[in-house]
Amino acid sequence: MTILVTGGAGFIGSNFVLDWLAASDEDVVNLDKLTYAGNVHNLADLASDPRHIFVQGDIGDAGLVAALLKAHSPRAVLNFAAESHVDRSILGPLEFIQTNIVGTFHLLEQVRAYWGGIDAQAQAGFRFLHVSTDEVYGSLASRDPAFTETHRYEPNSPYSASKAASDHLVRAYHHTYGLPVLTTNCSNNYGPLHFPEKLIPLMIVNAQAGKPLPVYGDGQQIRDWLYVKDHCSAIRTVLQGGRLGETYNIGGWNEKPNLHIVHTVCDLLDELKPRADGQSYRSQIAYVTDRPGHDRRYAIDARKIEQELGWKPAETFETGIRKTVQWYLDHPQWVAQVQSGAYREWVATQYAQT
């Protein structure tokens, strides 16, 4: 048996592939374009593992996807491939439209053709699982109830709009063509192997380098935080038992303001690797102009997956964030490898003091 994972060299995808092969003997065909956030070093532990078949390529390459499906006959396709950073989508939305909408369309077309050509028993067991985000639901006021699976889509950035479109395509291919699909919408992930443009790894990396810790606006934007390995276990659970055509919200039950996250990271670093001058890393916090259209609050209601499938996160925020900070302290080589000159220039531009 084999599964095909797209975007399996990125943050969530690589964690999923590593966890899958640690718990299963089922082969993984891993298709990743290796853009700036796709990193083969994430998969270094699998270099000699014959169960992991890595292919560099684009989900929008119909010929390549068709050839992989024909050659490996997967029982499931899990789509992690996406451009996923809001800030980058504001500066350059075209890549997000191309990958998240057009790429997903081409992938669905090839999967539909493959699924239509396999025998009835294989068709009945096949699944297409699409990994999405809570950002498709828009922003919440402070006292609004958390997002449920039936919340209206109200995306507010080019990134979230492109993911919303991909979700709609997946739904349409189920209702129009009968493709056996599942969709998951997750809250903010954090954990090992996270490219240091997102909040938590950026704070850890900048703190260690003695650089400012940029906080947008007043830092009171609230997000629900989900440890990445909990997310991976939820995806496995949905793949195994989710109802066809359904959406499952995956959250950590950890609503925290961004400034609280930054303070927590600083306090853990003060404990685990204190500054030589004895000052707190909090002294490096620098407030910068808020980004355009910054959603104020996201919150996930994850009761559906718990009630239907029995899944709950294993980590609290306190246990997960400690593991995350420690991982970055233990893996300075990984950090150095992903910080190219282009990455440094982008961070300097994005978080310029104004």
User: Exposure pattern of 239-265 as b/e (b: 16+ CB <10 Å)?
Assistant: beebeeebbbbbbbbbbbebbebbbbb
Active-site residue (options: 27, 58, 83, 134): 134
Structure tokens at 129: 């699982």
What proportions of the chain, in percent to the nearest 5, are helix, strand and coil? 50, 15, 35
Active site residue 134: yes
Q: What's the distance, CA 354 to chain centroid?
A: 30
Active site residue 271: no
Selection from 161, 180, 160, 159 nearest residue 171 by Cα = 180
Structure tokens at 26: 């089922």
Selection from 260, 266, 270 nearest residue 219 by Cα = 260
Selection from 129, 21, 30, 32 nearest residue 78 by Cα = 129
- 146 three-state secondary structure: coil
Active-site residue (options: 135, 167, 224, 301): 135
The DSSP H or E segment spanning 77 is strand 76-79
Active site residue 114: no
- Rg of the Cα atoms in the chain: 20
Alpha-carbon gap, residue 336 to 276, rounded angstroms: 21
Active-site residue (options: 114, 137, 159, 351): 159
Alpha-carbon gap, residue 236 to 306, rounded angstroms: 14
Pairing of strands 213-216, 188-190: unpaired
Active-site residue set: 134-135, 159
